[in-house]
Amino acid sequence: MANQLATSEITQADWATGPKGEIISIYTLKSRWTEVRLTEYGARLVSVKTADRGGKFADVVLGYDSLNDYLRDKKTFLGGVVGRYGNRIAHGTLWIGEQQYQLPVNDHGNTLHGGPVGFDKLFWRGQIAQDSIEFTLLSKDGDMGFPGSLAAKVVYTLEDCALRLDYSATTDRATVVNLTNHSYFNLNGDDAGDIIDHQLTLNADRYTPTNAELIPTGELAAVAGTPLDFREAMSVGLRINDAHEQLIFAGGYDHNFVVDGNNGELKLAARLYDPASGRVLTVATTEPGIQFYSGNFLDGTYTGRHGSGYTRHKGLCLETQHFPDSPNHPRFPTTSLKPGETMHSTTIFTFDCESRTA
């Protein structure tokens, strides 16, 4: 079926058969300069095709052509919506009120992206809703150790070159929630080189330093005078190998930056520019943080489209979020959600070109 809009066309088609025999859909949103593909497995962003300065289209997110490839990938979270709690929780333990909860650990003794079977590894229900694609998921009480039945929703809307993600969630019991999209971007194309020469700007005066396990220390540190200062455009690779403790811990960049501006208000968080293609990505969000991850742990285990190996620094992530391990840091913006409340956040990825051919 198709829904023709002023700015985009939306189509739905059968894509694959799931492990339980269910039919998995693929959705396509298409405007003049942008084509986005999404699937119900992980409410996942499968591809984004956009034009370079000469009008040539390429896919600018890492991904696979088949569901089986996604099912085989146990490490990268490519394009998925991660949760119930995106990023890390120290030792998999958290307190809600006077009760402590133990979550399964899957990352050096910590819980990463919701645990071994996070939201990116679940099948969401997808549907076309007016000018958007809407994915819904019910995570039952006790799922991966988290309390409360959580009803989560992610809505993708494409207007021209801007892809808007609206996240929301409700619960029947006090819990925590932190949802984000884990796409890896390479603005020169997913089958091109690495992202080392991409130029990044982050609208952030501060970041949250980590220990060697990449768990925040609780400090909000200034980026000034460090290789984590991206307040002015800087090539990703210029300082990535500096002998700075934070870069040594992560093997590159894998840090939460405190976005300048008010939590809950839409503001510019990041701008990414690829000199080779002229493509530009801007990221606006209502979230207080953005995780810049330079693809340090991509090791060539998985091969994407066109037979391109996903090796170190093949793509980078710009994950809008609340801070890692927030439940264990009272000074951080809260990720708590109680019955009767609705969590809502918005992120907008805008894909453009510095001098696109009309």
Distance separating alpha carbons of residues 92 and 81, to the nearest angstrom: 20
**Smallest Cα–Cα separation from 230: which of 200, 274, 269, 265?**
200
Query: Prior bond to 84 cis, omega within 30?
Result: yes
Q: What is the DSSP letter of 179?
A: -
Q: What sign for the dihedral angle of Cα 333, 336, 341, 344?
A: positive
Q: Is 255 a catalytic residue?
A: no
Q: What is the DSSP letter of 104?
A: P
Select which of 182, 198, 255, 322 is catalytic: 182
Distance separating alpha carbons of residues 8 and 157, to the nearest angstrom: 9
Classify residue 273 as exposed, middle or buried by CB count within 10 Å of its CB (0-12, 13-18, 19+).
Answer: buried
Residue 67 sits at φ, ψ, to 5 deg, of: -60, -40
For residue 97, CA distances in Å to 143, 147, 175, 317, 331 come to: 19, 12, 10, 33, 16
Q: In what order do the strands lie in the sheet with 23-30?
A: 2-4, 9-17, 23-30, 34-39, 44-51, 57-59
**Smallest Cα–Cα separation from 76: which of 274, 252, 281, 316?**
316
Q: Element (H or E) spanning 67, and its range?
A: helix 67-72
Round the CA-based radius of gyration of the chain to a whole number and report it: 19
Residue 161 sits at φ, ψ, to 5 deg, of: -105, 5
Select which of 40, 319, 322, 329 is catalytic: 319
Q: Is 182 a catalytic residue?
A: yes
Residue 290 sits at φ, ψ, to 5 deg, of: -145, 130
Determine the length of the chain.
358
**N- to C-terminal Cα distance for the chain?**
30
Q: Which residues are catalytic?
A: 182, 319
